[in-house]
Amino acid sequence: MLSAKSLFQEIFDNDESFRLFCSIAASGESQGGWENGRIAALVPADERELAPKITRHGADEDKHGRIFYALMRKRGLAPAEVPPETDYTMLLEKHGIGLAHTKLNSDQPLTVRDIVTYLAHSRVTEQRASEQMELLCKHFGDHPDVGRAVRMISNDEDNHLAYCHEELLRFAYAGHGREIQRTLRDCALAEIRIYRDVSLAVMAHMGRILGWSKAKAVVLAAGIHVMYAYERFAGWRRMVTLKMPERRDALGGPATPMPEFA
């Protein structure tokens, strides 16, 4: 029976598909680490107290990238080239979601509006990351090879999501509420579309590697389209709500050290 667990198990059991999976994940995490590092360096003077949390956010993302590279090394695998149509992070930037890399590559300090944009973008993408890692934890949290990595990354993503909620609420109370809601909505609607396209591209590549039948590929693609239809109709709303998290000041300390995986 086709299920999320059986699908991931098939990907993890094959060296080439596992290599592509980890390479895509590592690339996205490393890109997120760079973006957060630049944002931390360019935080406006009035928000400098936020810089250590943004730095921590970036350090976590860098760590996740190193973890995925380490998982490949453990199996004697070299990173694969990431197909551009599977590059979630770069596609978001290309479609104007988050802060443009031209802005981050400059030395011009960011504005408060830029910080709100960054947090809103992160609120949406960290929701996705948290849900994905929760799914992997459910099925592979005790896996001898990837379980520890999955649990650590999942905990970090939950911290990132809590941080976004708390900081966005702080900005909302400071008078940025309408701007935050508008930005969240725009980000969420764009993200679900890009996530659909990336999911279709990733599954197409996995299908070629694993030799899936046409029928199996059609079923998986249909499932992705059904999920997008649900998210477009109502599911996107979960990405734009804000509530004070149980984990307060979730990024207030140093990043958790990366364990040895290889």
Domain positions in the chain:
4-239
> Residue 179: what residue type?
E
Q: Is the separation of the CB atoms in 39 and 99 below 8 Å?
A: yes
CATH number of 4-239: 1.20.1260
Q: What is the DSSP letter of 252?
A: S
Q: Nearest-CA neighbor of 164 among 48, 50, 29, 63? A: 50
The answer to whether 171 and 119 are in contact (CB under 8 A) is yes
Each of the 262 residues of the chain gets a pLDDT tens digit; together they read 678 899 999 999 999 999 999 999 999 999 999 999 999 999 999 999 999 999 999 999 999 999 999 999 999 999 999 999 999 999 999 998 999 999 999 999 999 999 999 999 999 999 999 999 999 999 999 988 899 999 999 999 999 999 999 999 999 999 999 999 999 999 999 999 999 999 999 999 999 999 999 999 999 999 999 999 999 999 999 999 999 999 999 998 776 776 655 4
> Among 234, 199, 192, which Cα is nearest to 220's?
199
